[in-house]
């Protein structure tokens, strides 16, 4: 736009100068030839100077326009770089926020998992509802699974460790019973008798006490202690009448006669 205006100005100046020359030519007759020629030379020089001035001015305006365009392009590039940098920061911050949120979820999940491990749980043990810790229940379940899989030596170690760690546990009577039963399965009858005697002594009112006495009686028979076996079977009938173990004791007494 500026360049177009400058060109128009230059053309207008040329037109004015041309008009001046025309006027000058009209009155040239008033001067001598030398003076006229000199006047024309001077006027042409003036025209050239004005044209040169206008050209220089035009060049300066053009150079200024180019400098402005370069500055504008540089500013645009800087702005684009700044926008790219800000977008990169936004992406980093977005990822950091997402990572933080995920980390918080992981922490909450870990805390929830740990709480579930220690929170008391309701369990049915020997027909009675009772409260045990989740860790305690897992330890007992793991030990009893070993017994059920027939790995009796390992079951003895696992169940004995459970009784030592949780001596007051509602599972302790059952754990003690299965320790004695594991010894019986391994044909270690003396240990079976000792472990089941401990069970009956510590938990005489437990539902497994009559069965523990049956294991003792069976171990005594295996050790050819028939008198001891009869005494144990009679004890079952006397102290635990009406339970299935008492009926079994009566039947075995008949076999020992």
Domain ranges of the chain: 2-110, 132-256
What does the pLDDT look like over 58-109, one tens digit per residue?
888 888 888 888 888 888 878 788 788 888 878 787 777 777 667 655 644 5
Whole-angstrom distance, CA of residue 106 vs CA of residue 83: 34
More confident residue, 166 or 2: 166
Q: Is the pTM of this model over 0.75?
A: no
- Band of pLDDT at residue 231, cut at 50, 70 and 90: very high
What does the pLDDT look like over 177-212, one tens digit per residue?
999 999 999 999 999 999 999 999 999 999 999 999
Question: In the CATH scheme, what is the homologous superfamily, with its name and number, of domain 132-256?
Answer: Tetratricopeptide repeat domain (1.25.40.10)
Q: How far does CA 166 lie from the centroid of its chain?
A: 34
What does the pLDDT look like over 136-172, one tens digit per residue?
999 999 999 999 999 999 999 999 999 999 999 999 9
CB contact burial 48-76 (16+ within 10 A = b; e otherwise): eeeeeebeeebeeeeeeeeeeeeeeeeee
**Sign of the CA dihedral with 85 first, then 91, 93, and 95 last:** negative
Whole-angstrom distance, CA of residue 47 vs CA of residue 129: 119
pLDDT of 227 higher than 90: yes
Instruction: Decide: helix, strand or coil at residue 223.
Output: coil
């Amino acid at each position: 736009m500026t360049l177009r205006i400058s060109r128009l100005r230059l053309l207008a100046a040329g037109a004015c100068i041309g008009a001046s020359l025309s006027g000058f030519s009209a009155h040239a007759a008033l001067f001598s030839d030398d003076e006229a020629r000199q006047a024309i030379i001077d006027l042409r020089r003036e025209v050239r100077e004005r044209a040169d001035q206008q050209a220089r001015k035009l060049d300066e305006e053009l150079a200024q326009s180019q400098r402005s365009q370069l500055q504008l392009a540089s500013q645009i590039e800087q702005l684009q770089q700044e926008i790219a940098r800000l977008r990169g920061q936004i992406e980093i911050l977005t990822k950091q926020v997402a990572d933080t949120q995920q980390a918080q979820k992981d922490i909450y999940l870990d805390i929830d998992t740990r709480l579930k491990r220690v929170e008391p749980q309701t369990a049915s043990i020997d027909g009675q509802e009772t409260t045990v810790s989740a860790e305690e229940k897992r330890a007992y379940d793991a030990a009893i699974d070993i017994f059920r899989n027939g790995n009796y030596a390992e079951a003895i170690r696992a169940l004995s460790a459970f009784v030592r760690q949780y001596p007051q546990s509602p599972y302790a009577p059952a754990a003690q019973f299965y320790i004695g039963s594991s010894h019986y399965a391994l044909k270690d009858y003396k240990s079976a008798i000792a472990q089941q005697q401990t069970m009956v002594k510590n938990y005489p009112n437990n539902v497994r006490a009559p069965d523990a006495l049956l294991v003792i009686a069976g171990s005594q028979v295996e050790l050819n202690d028939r008198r001891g076996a009869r005494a144990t079977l009679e004890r079952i009938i006397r102290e635990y009448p009406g339970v299935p173990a008492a009926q079994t004791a009566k039947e075995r007494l008949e076999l020992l006669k």
